[in-house]
Structure 1
Amino acid sequence: MSERGKVHLNMIVTKTGDQGEAYLNDSSRVSKASTRIKALALIETISVKLGFFIHECRQDQLKLPLPEEGVCVLNLEQLANSFQQEMYDLGSDLSTPIKPEETILRFPVEKAEEITKLISKLTPTLEPLDSFILPQGSLRVLLAHDIRTTIRQAETLVWDIEEAINPAVTLYLNRLSDFWFVLGRILQSEDQLTTNEITKKWEPNQEHERGIQIQETK
């Protein structure tokens, strides 16, 4: 068995999955329709979405004044790249079934704790919310919301895996989706500095204009 985290892709077409099964890192085979494989596929999807975000935000930097601690500088490309790397760390962990008395390195819970601290630092830079915000705005704002919701889907799939998993994985995904919600709001606030757009929020149980006009011809 290859060491977890070491990958050798000398052959792409191996035909080993033609019968609907996939190898895990311990050389066991599982159905491609299993929850574990579906979760792995969605985590890879998150990585691709992060790639779109990197393309859109290349060289973008944000400088956010913090209430009591100076300024926070966000390099969006570097930020997204770090999360993209960690998606593969997560995938490697989920691809390695937990065995009794194992000694291999697992995805660390400290990663989730780090994101929790980042959220606590960044949230005070935003106005308090009084309703759900509608995912609208620039492409980078929409990409942030897209990434957030896909992370949430991946988290629910990981929770549905019947076998034992590293609890740090679900904790990290939960916190990461929270982070991208906060980042989406920050990006929207930054965009509003140069536009006249307002943040649109959910208005419960109201009548809303459809924007449709039917003009009859005589």
Structure 2
Amino acid sequence: MLSVSTKTGDKGTSGLANGKRVPKASFIFEVLGTQDELNSWLGVCIAKLSDHFADQKEFLYEIQDTLFYIGAELAQSPKAKLESASLKKLEQFSDALQSQMEAGWTTKFLYPGGNEVAAWIDVARTVSRRFERTVVKLGQEEVVSPLILQYVNRLSDYLFVLRCFVNSREKHQERTFSYKAKLTKKA
């Protein structure tokens, strides 16, 4: 019988994809944990998207797959390497969604949410931004592929566009933030 528990991490170390054991407190595991969290939130988004968003669901599955490759590459797998085609496809899908939206959609500061699915996508977007920050920080300590940096930067952009697309298709009016002068009471 196979067991999930290997007990190899009982002393506070874990193995990288290249076989090297490092302390679980190493920053790489913060990065990989954030990647795992992002992939989980994308799973929630996929589960919540209705079938009339089938193309978007399918592409989110592809993004999850790409995130596994990115995680493996960051964990120093000799087999995993992100390909430029993944970045190009992400950019193309983002552009395609933007072109399908009604005139007047905005890139201004929007309040997170809208309908339920867009709200979940917003959560995934913010985790994506955190993942990007951890990857950038990791890149200050060791070599990180510029392609990975580009992909994780574009991913949160795509998720922003996707949440706008969902709200647009569901006819949900976006709430935009604008700076207003704050009124102060006189004492």
Common fold, TM-score beyond 0.5? yes
Residue of structure 2 equivalent to 1:70: none
Deviation at 1:37, TM superposition (A): 0.9
SS in 2 for 1:129: coil
Change (3 A) 1:146 1:113: same
Structure-2 separation of matches of 1:150 and 1:24: 23
Is the contact between residue 59 and residue 76 of structure 1 (CA under 8 Å) also seen in structure 2?
A: no
Residues 112-160 of structure 1: CA deviation (Å, up to 9, x unaligned)? 1221122223323342526311112111101111111111110110111
Q: 1:42-121 residue pairs with structure 2 within 5 A?
A: 42-61=34-53, 75-96=55-76, 104-121=79-96
Percent identical pairs in the alignment equals 23
Residue of structure 2 equivalent to 1:129: 106
Higher RCO, Cα 8 Å, sep 6+: 2
Change (3 A) 1:117 1:144: same
Deviation at 1:198, TM superposition (A): 2.3
Residue of structure 2 equivalent to 1:205: 180
Please say if 1:14 is aligned against 2:9.
no
Q: Which runs of 5+ in 1 are unaligned?
A: 1-9, 62-73, 209-218
Structure-1 separation of matches of 2:64 and 2:50: 14
Opposite residue 120 of structure 1, the aligned amino acid is D
Q: Which runs of 5+ in 2 are unaligned?
A: none
Q: Which is further off, 81-90 or 156-165?
A: 81-90
Please say if 1:174 is aligned against 2:166.
no
Structure-2 separation of matches of 1:54 and 1:116: 20
Structure-2 separation of matches of 1:189 and 1:151: 22
Change (3 A) 1:130 1:173: closer
Structure-2 separation of matches of 1:154 and 1:111: 17
Residue of structure 2 equivalent to 1:65: none
Q: How many residues align?
A: 179
Opposite residue 74 of structure 2, the aligned amino acid is L
Is the contact between residue 111 and residue 175 of structure 2 (CA under 8 Å) also seen in structure 1?
A: yes
Opposite residue 60 of structure 2, the aligned amino acid is A
Deviation at 1:185, TM superposition (A): 0.4
Aligned partner of 1:30 among 8, 22, 39: 22
Q: Compute the TM-score of the two structures, normalised by the length of structure 1.
A: 0.74
Q: Compute the TM-score of the two structures, normalised by the length of structure 2.
A: 0.85
Please say if 1:184 is aligned against 2:159.
no
